[in-house]
Structure formats: structure tokens, C-alpha cells
Amino acid sequence: MAQGISQRKLVQLLGLRAHSNLVDYELGRRLPPADIVRACEKELGVGGGRLLSLHRRAMRERAHRWSEGRLEP
């Protein structure tokens, strides 16, 4: 990882139960809940709400695709 934290350590810091959750988030298969995004900002030292802003945009895009029938619920 770019911050020198292993995925295993980040999973522990974020309070996730499984490494697969983090992998799914990284690969875009799932969107993390907002509390996990905020925890990532804290643990990775990302300031200014940048990750939370990206998360909100991704949620809007996903809702738009779903409303157009291009995404399964």
C-alpha cells in the first residue's frame, strides 16, 4: 500500500471482519459504507474529506445507473 500499511493491518485498523471486504472496495465491486470511508481518511492521512467526496459521487453515479436499469440492485 502507498502509505506503508499492509492490507491486513488496514483491515484491522478499520474494524473490518474480512480482507475480502477491502479487496472488493479496491476493485470497485462494492462501495464501502461512509463510516469506513471516513476511517480510511483518518488511517491513511487523507485530509479535506477527499475520499468522502469521491464516495458521495460514486453513490450518485450508482443510483443514476440503477434508475436507468443499467445496474442490478
Q: How far apart are CA 14 and CA 42, in angstroms?
A: 10
Name the residue with cell 470511508: 37
Q: How far apart are CA 11 and CA 29, in angstroms?
A: 17
What value does the mean pLDDT of the chain take? 88
pTM: 0.79
pLDDT at 71 over 80: no
- Contact residues for 49 (Cβ-Cβ < 8 A; gap 6+): 41
Q: What angle do CA 47, 39, 35 make, to 5 degrees?
A: 115
Pull the grid cell for residue 50: 477527499
pLDDT at 1 over 50: no
Going by pLDDT thresholds of 50, 70 and 90, the confidence category of residue 37 is very high
pLDDT at 3 over 80: no
